Amino acid sequence: MEKRKFLIIVDPSHERHLALERMHDIIRQRREWVLEFHLLIGVEPEDKADPNTPNEVICSRAWFNDLLDPLDELGVSYTAEFFWARDWRQSIAEAAERYHCDTIMLCESSAEHKRGITDSKWELVRQAKCDVVIVDEGTKGPIKCILAAVNTQVTDEVHSALNEKILERGKFLTNYFEADFHVVNAYKDSGDFPDRGLISRLSGLPREKIHRDMGKPEDVIAGVAEKVNADMVILGISPRQGLAARFSSHTTEKVMEKITIDVVALS
C-alpha cells in the first residue's frame, strides 16, 4: 500500500481554492492508499494584478469554517498552518521538506490574475524536491483522462530515468483515479522520430494510446491534450543547473500557457 503526503497551498486572497478542490476530488476516490494532508495558508505577494492592492487580507471565522468544513464532512484528518513571508517559494519548499511531503499542490493563479504563472511559482517548480501539481480551472473532477509527455529521443541516463518516472507516475495516477491513460512524444523532423515500441514497453499501452506528432513540444502536447480530452498532463523538467535549467523548464511554461488543465511537474 503506497503512502502519499500532500502539501496543499491555500491563498486567502483568492476567490476560489483550486488546490483544495482537487484535494476534495482525491479524498472522494476512497482508494486503498494512505493519504496525509497538510494545508499551508498564506498570501503569495507576487500574485496580484494591481500593484496597489493592499497587503492586508482579512478573513472572518466564517471564512475559515467555509474553508475547512468540507474536509471535516469528508472525514479526513489533516493539519494546517498559517504563514506570511516575503519569500513565498522558500516557505513552501521548507514546509514540504519539514513535513516530508512528496507532492505540492497549488493553483495556477488567482481569479483576478490570469496573465500567466508568477516567477515565484516557476522557481518552486524548478527547484522543488518533490512533485508539483499546478491545478487549473479547466479540470473538472473527477479526473477521467491523464496524458504523460515524454522525450524518448534523448537517451542519456538522466533523461531515460525521467521518462520512466513520468510514465510510472502516470500509471499510478491512472490507477488511482481509474482514468484513461495516453502518452505523447513530440519530434522535430523525420530524423528525430520517437520509438513507439520503446514507449509501448515502458508504458504498457497499445498503439492507439501512444501519440507521436511532429512540431514544437508545447504545440504537440497541447494539441493531443485537447484531442484526448485530458484532465491532467504530466511533464518532466530536466535536472540541470544554472542557465540550462531555465531553458529546460521553458517548454513546461509554454505548455501551461496553452492549456487550462492540471499539470504535474516532475524533476
pLDDT at 55: 61
CATH, residue 201: 3.40.50.12370
Which three-class secondary structure state does DSSP give residue 80?
A: strand
22 found inside a domain: yes
CATH, residue 26: 3.40.50.620
Same domain, 130 and 149: no
Query: What is the extent of the structural domain holding 176?
Result: 145-266
Same domain, 11 and 99: yes
Q: Terminus-to-terminus CA distance in the chain, angstroms?
A: 24
The model scores a pTM over 0.85: yes
With 0-12 / 13-18 / 19 or more C-beta atoms within 10 angstroms meaning exposed / middle / buried, residue 200 is: middle
In this structure, is the dihedral angle defined by the CA atoms of residues 32, 5, 233 and 188, taken in order, positive or negative?
negative
Give dist(CA 130, CA 197) in Å, integer: 29
Other Cβ atoms closer than 10 A to 265 = 23
pLDDT at 53: 53
Q: How many domains does the chain have?
A: 2
pLDDT at 252: 76
* Tens digits of residue pLDDT in 209-249: 999 999 999 999 999 999 999 999 999 886 554 434 444 55
pLDDT at 113: 40
pLDDT at 47: 66
Collect the ranges in the chain with pLDDT lower than 50: 110-115, 241-247
- Residue 147 in contact with residue 242, Cβ under 8 Å? no
Give dist(CA 40, CA 52) in Å, integer: 25
pLDDT at 87: 84
176 found inside a domain: yes
The three cell numbers of residue 251 are 517548454
Same domain, 125 and 158: no
Same domain, 160 and 118: no
Same domain, 82 and 164: no
Which three-class secondary structure state does DSSP give residue 146?
A: strand
